[in-house]
Structure 1
Amino acid sequence: MARKYSKHGPREDLWRDDDDNRDEAPPPPDCWLCERPCGETVIWHHPVPKSRGGRDTVPMHPICQNMLITTFTNSELQRYGLDASLLRIEPRVEKFIAWVAGKDPEFNAPLGKKKQR
């Protein structure tokens, strides 16, 4: 039968924190689309939609994800794949990134409804 506690020292040693930086939170990841640091709210977005076989996720601001969803169809997003640089040269995305660049990471605004094609 396995031991519950170490036989080489007091039990308190098992629960001791050697990590002095435990109170410091890691820095937020950068947004995949606009490349600004994310705030407290991070959306893990599938650049290639799950319905099209996408498995990878990337961190994004909620407003950036909303812009992608309302601007592009699933088949367009599948064509762009994981390459955000291709999306950034798209005129609609370029204009959005220029607009959102000076905003707070927690900024969110309604962007409208998805256009039917």
Structure 2
Amino acid sequence: MGRRGRRWRGDDAATPGASAPATCPLCERPIPPGARQSRHHLTPKLKGGTHGRTVQLHQICHSAIHARYSEAEIARRLADVESLRADPEIARFLAWVRTKPDDFHAATRLTRARRATKREPR
């Protein structure tokens, strides 16, 4: 199965038989079994990150990070959960998402600033 299929289908669900659902370290809400979730490399693999430094997040929380910041910026100043939570953009997102049900998911788009940096010069 391809990487994208696995990531979006939530195949990284909590281990069957586990006593309590995992908790998203970013928004601090439980991750219910079967909810969309994925692993976030604290230091992106493109910038030297390894599988050993990952955290399990709600998919919407993970998407919010990558919609706002480049891999380089994540590696440079947002390579731990505390830094992510302290960032004003992520803090605003967290205040909003904490009002949603634990299994809430919505499509996440790149911010205008990220779209502008991804455009190729003509």
TM-score by length of 1: 0.71
Shift of 1:33: 1.4
Partner residue in 2 for 1:46: 41
Contact 1:71–1:115 (CA under 8 A) maintained in structure 2: no
Shift of 1:88: 1.2
In the alignment, structure 1 segments of 5+ residues that lack a partner are 1-22
Shift of 1:62: 0.4
Q: Take 2:96 and 2:29, find their aligned partners in 1: how far apart are those partners?
A: 13
Contact 1:29–1:37 (CA under 8 A) maintained in structure 2: yes
Q: How does 1:33-112 map to 2 (within 5 A)?
A: 33-40=26-33, 41=35, 42-55=37-50, 56-112=53-109
Q: Take 1:59 and 1:116, find their aligned partners in 2: how far apart are those partners?
A: 29
Q: Which has the larger radius of gyration?
A: 1
Instruction: Mark the CA change 1:89 to 1:77 in structure 2 (over 3 Å): closer, same or farther.
Output: same
Contact 1:47–1:82 (CA under 8 A) maintained in structure 2: yes
In the alignment, structure 2 segments of 5+ residues that lack a partner are 1-15, 118-122
Q: Take 1:48 and 1:81, find their aligned partners in 2: how far apart are those partners?
A: 8
- The share of aligned pairs that are identical, in percent, is 34
| 1:96 counterpart letter in structure 2 | F
Structure number with the higher helix fraction is 2
Shift of 1:24: 4.8
Shift of 1:111: 2.2
Shift of 1:81: 5.0
Structure 1 segments of 4 or more deviating over 4 A? Answer: none
Partner residue in 1 for 2:21: 28
Q: Take 1:105 and 1:52, find their aligned partners in 2: how far apart are those partners?
A: 31
| 1:39 counterpart letter in structure 2 | P
Shift of 1:89: 1.6
Q: Take 1:80 and 1:38, find their aligned partners in 2: how far apart are those partners?
A: 26
Partner residue in 2 for 1:116: 116
Between the two proteins, the alignment pairs up a number of residues equal to 95
Contact 2:78–2:84 (CA under 8 A) maintained in structure 1: no
Q: Take 1:38 and 1:45, find their aligned partners in 2: how far apart are those partners?
A: 14
